[in-house]
Amino acid sequence: MKPSLLDILLCPCCGAEGLTLSKAQFQQLAYGDEEVEEVYSGMVTCSVCQNAFPVEEYVLSFANLLPDDVRADGEYWGELFRWHVSQGDLGYLDLQRPLAGLLRFGVSEAVPVQGDNHPGTHEMLLSHPLSRQRQRVFDLGCGSGRTSLYLARHGLDVVAVDPSLECVKMGKSYAVQQGVFLEYIAGASGAISFKPETFDTVFAFHSLHHVPKIEPCLAEIRTWLRLGGCLAIDEHIQDSAHGSAFQRVLTKWFAEEVLPPYMTASAANTLPPAGVSRNEGAGQANMLAALERTFHIEHIAFRYVFLDSFGDLYYFRSGRSLEATSVARDVVNILCQALNECFPEEVEYVILIGQKKADMPRVPQQSMTSVRRDLLHLFRPRSVFALCQGKGTAWYWLPCKAAHIFWYQGPAALLGEVRSYCRWILKRS
């Protein structure tokens, strides 16, 4: 931790400025050609309320402020990622390293990474025109730091936060080994506070759906963003019942017909830690509506993920053929696009960029979300939003949706929605 980190922080207990450092032990670390003096250990104290927070292994920790369920979640993920690292799987630390995605089956071999890295949606979100206008960024729910390290390698000033002290210590230690500087903090929404307009962009990769109180969390993020800054997310918004069932059958096929020759005795005898994430999916139901009320949605796309693992499975099914694996992944992409068109009500993930503008979005509290305008539109029998909210079919909401479009976008937009809906009906029939 650089002492300058305190310049952007507020006391999470009383909201005061003026956090001070004491009992600090400094160390010189090499990051490329630059020598940086960091705080290895010490205490950060609020001069107003006198609450004190430790710095351990270059990481400032607010973990003692976390609720029990959030702390338990952090311990679970810390234990899980530590187990992966102990098995030689560094994919959760670094996007440039392959993930041993089948380690839980006793397969310690990872599918080789083609090219320099496999950033997936990271590159798309980072290259968006809005998120390009950034220097200091915040990685919310960073886990063990694979996204944070990716952002820092692209020249950004990164502050990464996660409830798991163990995870952020692992991430920091690995970043030091790689010669890449970024700040890690142990904390979570409600237990950390920054000065207003500190960040240009906030990234959240697979983390917001763990937040039980999503609305206050997004309000905090909006405060921390500068005017014109954006929130860029890749998030889990719901589980597909059919996708989950298909994945179970696919896993059974792999375990029975493909797996046995590739199992290693050491990996098969080392099981991942037991337990579950207590807040898994806690923020899913209200996420889209809360995002629409807090940010101006500038980009949105939805995707299925239950077939994503098929490429790794087929790597072993094809006798480790990278060419066959590449073809399998292309086929999966085509199938997922078709699923998106045919069954939009079950999409599992959202990729979204929302911008902070001077005015709040003009969206009624209970309106259907209009941000899916770049798909088949929401004028259809069922919608993700209605499903997530437990409202049943969207037929009940059609008058509300029509009134919302007419009022905020005008009659031409409403006519366009009706035409789109008619085209969709004809396609489905």
Sketch the domain layout of the chain as residue ranges.
Answer: 1-56, 59-361
Mean pLDDT of 363-370: 45
pLDDT at 389: 38
pTM (two decimals) = 0.83
Q: Over 90: is that where the pLDDT of 210 sits? A: yes
Strand pairing of 349-355 and 225-236? antiparallel
- The CB-based long-range contact list for 149-156 (8 Å cut-off, 24+ gap) reads 149/93, 149/94, 149/95, 149/174, 149/175, 149/178, 149/180, 149/182, 150/95, 150/117, 150/119, 150/122, 151/126, 151/182, 151/203, 152/180, 152/181, 152/182, 153/180, 154/126
Phi, psi of 53 (to 5 degrees): -135, 135
pLDDT at 240: 87
Q: What is the 3-state secondary structure (H, E, C) of 274-292?
A: CCCCCCCCCCHHHHHHHHH
Q: Over 60: is that where the pLDDT of 425 sits? A: no
Contact by Cβ (8 Å): 260, 316: no
pLDDT at 372: 40
Q: Over 90: is that where the pLDDT of 72 sits? A: yes
Sequential DSSP letters for 389-414: HT---GGGGHHHHHHHHHHHH-HHHH
Which of 5, 24, 14 is CA-nearest to residue 46?
14
| Spatial distance between the Cα atoms of 126 and 128, rounded to a whole number of angstroms | 6
Mean pLDDT of 230-251: 92
Q: Over 90: is that where the pLDDT of 370 sits? A: no
Q: Where are the alpha helices (DSSP H) in 343-383?
A: none
Distances from the Cα of 265 to the Cα of 83, 105, 211, 213, 268, angstroms = 16, 11, 38, 43, 5
pLDDT at 234: 95
Higher pLDDT, 268 or 2: 2
Q: Is 247 exposed, middle or buried (0-12, 13-18, 19+ CB in 10 A)?
A: middle
Residue-wise pLDDT for 307-352, tens only, equals: 998 988 999 999 999 999 999 999 999 999 999 988 888 899 999 9
pLDDT at 106: 81
Mean pLDDT of 80-95: 92
| Spatial distance between the Cα atoms of 304 and 28, rounded to a whole number of angstroms | 46
Mean pLDDT of the chain: 85
Cα 283 to the center of its chain, rounded Å: 12
- What token pair was written down for 154? 């692209």
pLDDT at 305: 92
DSSP category for residue 7: G
Mean pLDDT of 255-283: 80
Distances from the Cα of 185 to the Cα of 80, 136, 189, 191, 197, angstroms = 19, 15, 12, 11, 19
pLDDT at 400: 64
| Spatial distance between the Cα atoms of 57 and 38, rounded to a whole number of angstroms | 10
Mean pLDDT of 63-84: 94
Architecture label for domain 1-56: Roll (3.10)
Domain 59-361 part of CATH 3.40.50.150: yes
Interior CA angle at 101 toward 96 and 103, to 5°? 120
Q: Do domains 1-56 and 59-361 have the same CATH topology?
A: no
DSSP category for residue 330: H
> Could you tell me the pLDDT band of residue 268, with boundaries at 50, 70 and 90?
low
